[in-house]
C-alpha cells in the first residue's frame, strides 16, 4: 500500500514540474513536446506544463478571468465614504478585479448617473446588473451569479482608493450631487 501511495505522489510531483517545449523543425513543422528539442530546432519556447499564456499573463485563476471578461465590475465611490471602503474591501477579499471610479468631477458624476441611474455611492455594476448602496448579501449575490469565486478561493487583491483628482473637482461633484436626492445609504458630499 505504501508503495502505491509513493508512486502516485512521485507521479504527481513529476507532472507538476514538467516542462513543455514548442519548436520548429528543419521542414517548418511545429512540435510541442515534453522533452527538450534537438539542437537543430528553431524558435524554441519553453513553459511549465499546465499554464496557458493568458493565465500566466494576468496571474488570475481561470474562473476569475472568465467572470471578468463576461461580467466586468465597476465600483463607484466618493472620497471619505466609509461604506465605499467596505465595498472595496469585499471586492479585494474575493479577489475580484474591478475598475473604481471615485466620483470627484462633473464628468464622473455624469458617468455615475448614466451607469446607475442615481448619484448614490457606493454603487456597483457587475456586467449589466446594478446595486445601489452597500449591502454585503446583495454584493455577494451579484458576484456569485456572475461566476466570481467566493472569498478565499481566488487570491485576495489589494486595490486601494483612487487618488483624488484636481482640487476644484470635488466642488463640481458636490454641485451635481445636490441636484438629486440620494437613493442609497450614502451620498457624495
Q: What is the pLDDT of residues 88-136, one digit of tens each?
A: 999 999 999 999 999 999 999 999 999 999 999 999 999 999 999 999 9
Alpha helices in the chain (DSSP H): 2-16, 53-58, 62-70, 82-94, 106-116, 136-146, 169-177
Q: Which CATH number fits domain 60-177: 3.40.30.10, 3.40.50.2000, 3.30.830.10, 3.90.1150.10?
A: 3.40.30.10
Query: Given a cut of 60, is residue 187 above it in pLDDT?
Result: no
Phi, psi of 58 (to 5 degrees): -90, -25
Whether 157 has a pLDDT exceeding 60, the answer reads yes
Owner of C-alpha cell 513529476: 14
Predicted confidence band of residue 181 (pLDDT cuts 50, 70, 90): very low
Alpha-carbon distances, residue 162 vs 38, 67, 73, 173, 186 (angstroms) = 51, 23, 16, 16, 18
Closest-CA residue to 184 (of 128, 122, 140):
122
pLDDT at 86: 97
Q: What are phi and psi of 92, to 5 degrees?
A: -65, -45
**Per-residue model confidence (pLDDT) at position 70:** 95
Give the model confidence (pLDDT) of 20-47 as tens digits.
777 788 888 877 777 788 888 888 887 7
Residue located via cell numbers 466570481: 148
Residues 143, 125: Cα–Cα separation, whole Å: 10
Distance in angstroms (rounded) separating the CA atoms of residues 102 and 161: 8
> What's the rounded Cα separation, in Å, for the pair 111 and 178?
16
- Predicted confidence at residue 42, as pLDDT, reads 86
Decide the pairing of beta strands 98-102 and 123-126: unpaired
Q: Where in the chain is the domain with CATH 3.40.30.10?
A: 60-177
State the Cα angle at 116 between 110 and 122, rounded to 5°: 95
More confident residue, 149 or 52: 149
Amino acid at each position: 500500500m505504501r508503495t502505491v501511495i509513493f508512486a502516485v505522489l512521485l507521479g504527481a510531483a513529476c507532472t507538476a514540474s514538467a516542462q513543455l517545449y514548442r519548436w520548429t523543425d528543419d521542414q517548418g513543422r511545429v512540435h510541442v513536446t515534453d522533452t527538450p528539442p534537438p539542437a537543430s530546432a528553431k524558435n524554441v519556447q519553453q513553459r511549465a506544463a499546465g499554464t496557458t499564456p493568458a493565465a500566466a499573463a494576468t496571474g488570475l485563476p481561470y474562473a476569475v478571468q472568465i467572470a471578468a471578461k463576461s461580467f466586468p465590475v465597476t465600483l463607484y465611490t466618493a472620497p471619505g465614504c466609509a461604506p465605499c471602503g467596505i465595498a472595496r474591501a469585499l471586492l479585494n477579499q474575493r479577489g475580484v478585479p474591478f475598475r473604481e471610479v471615485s466620483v470627484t468631477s462633473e464628468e464622473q458624476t455624469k458617468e455615475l448617473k448614466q451607469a446607475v441611474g442615481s448619484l448614490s455611492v457606493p454603487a456597483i455594476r457587475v456586467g449589466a446588473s446594478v446595486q445601489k448602496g452597500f449591502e454585503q448579501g446583495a454584493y455577494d449575490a451579484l458576484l456569485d451569479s456572475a461566476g466570481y469565486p467566493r472569498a478565499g478561493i481566488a487570491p485576495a487583491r489589494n486595490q486601494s482608493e483612487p487618488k483624488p483628482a484636481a482640487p476644484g473637482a470635488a466642488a463640481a461633484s458636490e454641485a451635481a450631487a445636490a441636484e438629486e436626492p440620494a437613493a442609497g445609504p450614502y451620498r457624495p458630499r
